[in-house]
Amino acid sequence: MGVDLDRIAEIRESLDRMHQVAEAVEAEGATAEATDVTGSVTVHVDKAGAISSVVVDADWPQHYEPEELGAVVCSTVRAADAGRLRTVLASVSERLRDSPPATRPMPPASDTLPGGLHAIIAEQPAGAVERRAAEQALKGLVDEVLRAVVDQRGRLESRRHARHDGGAQHGVVATTDGDGRLLDVAYDEVWLRGQSAFVLSLATREAIEHARTAARTTVASEVQAEPLSRLARDLVDPQAVARRLGLLTEGTP
């Protein structure tokens, strides 16, 4: 069975349009707001997805026990996050349907990894490239990528179970997972009873943002050291790939 080049081109064009629209929607951003059923807790999410405000109404004790407030805040934050995501997805869908962008041209062959490798090989003296050795090195590189993918799967699972806390100094602790999803908000009940609605609202927002910042900082440092990230950086560089395949020596510029 031959390769359906027309189908491949169609998929590439579709993916490019989706990528352009997603980039445009992300740049514009989308806000969202959610309120619990009693109107005691309102959460606003800004265009970047950060919590711009958490408003806990002064009459919240008329509707909830102190030990219930954290769960209400959590569910309201999740509702606001979900609302923002729905808005973004709807915007992407509408733009793709009503005003899809023109497909961007493919980069010149010389700017691609295959093109760069072809140029490197062409510059080598006749007989300098050991085909069998290069094939073995390529097989080793593919195996390394597959191992890195398996490793990454485990890292993503660990990240999902990670816990990051923030805000304990204010009498409220927020906990997120490694992706910044809010898992829990816990209040010191003695502290809670003595706080004004303003202080309570401000401390709650700060605790959530501190936990999310801790998650982002940890993930950013981990990503740089992940095998798949290191490979990804190498695999966009023809010189680095050529060295891995034995097409260049370490001293070659």
CATH at 85: 3.30.1310.10
Q: What mean pLDDT do residues 49-73 have?
A: 95
Read off the tokens for 200: 């309570």
How confident is the model at residue 110, as a pLDDT? Answer: 73
Query: How many domains are there within the chain?
Result: 2
The reply to whether 150 and 167 lie within a common domain is yes
pLDDT, tens digit, for every residue of 6-56?
Answer: 777 788 788 888 888 888 888 888 899 999 999 999 999 998 889 999 999
Of 186 and 232, the one with more pLDDT: 186
Q: What is the mean pLDDT of the chain?
A: 84
pLDDT confidence bin for 4, thresholds 50/70/90: low
The reply to whether 238 and 168 lie within a common domain is yes
The reply to whether 101 and 118 lie within a common domain is no
pLDDT confidence bin for 228, thresholds 50/70/90: confident
The reply to whether 97 and 205 lie within a common domain is no
The reply to whether 21 and 94 lie within a common domain is yes
The reply to whether 144 and 208 lie within a common domain is yes
**Other Cβ atoms within 10 Å of 62 Cβ, number:** 9
Percent of the chain with pLDDT over 90: 32
The reply to whether 40 and 99 lie within a common domain is yes
Q: What mean pLDDT do residues 132-143 have?
A: 84
Taking 80 as the threshold, does the pLDDT of residue 221 lie above it?
no
Q: What mean pLDDT do residues 51-73 have?
A: 95
The reply to whether 124 and 224 lie within a common domain is yes
Q: What mean pLDDT do residues 226-250 have?
A: 79
Taking 50 as the threshold, does the pLDDT of residue 1 lie above it?
no
Taking 60 as the threshold, does the pLDDT of residue 136 lie above it?
yes
Q: Which of 214, 207, 216 is nearest to 74 (CA)?
A: 207
The reply to whether 126 and 31 lie within a common domain is no
Residue 43: C-alpha distances to residues 10, 27, 196 (Å): 42, 22, 18
Strands (E), the chain: 32-35, 41-45, 51-56, 164-166, 172-176, 182-187
Domain coverage including residue 178? 108-253
The reply to whether 141 and 95 lie within a common domain is no
**Structure pTM?**
0.72
Taking 60 as the threshold, does the pLDDT of residue 161 lie above it?
yes
How confident is the model at residue 7, as a pLDDT? Answer: 77
